[in-house]
Structure 1
Amino acid sequence: MSPAELEDVLTRVVHPDDPDRRVLLPDELLDTPLDDLDVDSLSRAEMVAVLGDTYRIDISDEQAAALDTPRAVLEFVSARATPGGP
């Protein structure tokens, strides 16, 4: 998973009615808590569901709770994504 792919997922869940209002993740924001990036608990739950479906991975509640920064999400998905997936 690339930062650009995570930007797309976050844009879909944070701004579902306004896709032109993008969530951008420059390198300096990769360690910023998702809460500080306006990713609320509902958006986080939707993000986890989208990631699980898109990358064909199971994400437990405990694992989801640990996905608290963009870098944590990127590393988690990259380590578990099914080869040949997106």
Structure 2
Amino acid sequence: MSPAELEEILTRVVHPDDPHRRVLLPDEQLDTPLDDLDVDSLSRAEMVAVLGDTYRIDISDEQAAALDTPRAVLEFVSAHATPGGPWA
């Protein structure tokens, strides 16, 4: 998973009704808490569901709670994604 792919997912869950707003993740924001990027608890739950479906990952509640920064999400997906996902 790339930062650009995560940007797309976060944009869909954070701004679903506004096609002109985007979540951007420059390198300096990869360690920013998701809460500071306007990812509330509902958006985070939706993000986890999309990640699970897209990358064929089972994500426990405990694992989801640890996905608190974009970098944590990227590292988790890289470590747990099932071969044959969209990155292949």
Using structure 2 for the length normalisation, give the TM-score. Answer: 0.95
Per-residue CA deviation, residues 22-80 of structure 1 (Å, 9 max, x unaligned), is 10000000000000000000000000000000000000000000000000000000111
The reply on whether 1:41 has 2:15 as its aligned counterpart is: no
Q: 1:67 — aligned with what?
A: 67
Give % identity: 94
How far apart are the structure 2 equivalents of 1:20 and 1:82?
32
- 1:18 Cα deviation from its structure 2 partner: 1.0
Query: Number of residue pairs matched?
Result: 86
Q: CA RMSD in A?
A: 0.6
How far apart are the structure 1 equivalents of 2:78 and 2:19?
25
Q: 1:21 — aligned with what?
A: 21
- 1:20 Cα deviation from its structure 2 partner: 2.2
The ranges of structure 1 where at least 4 consecutive aligned residues each deviate by more than 6 angstroms after the TM superposition are none
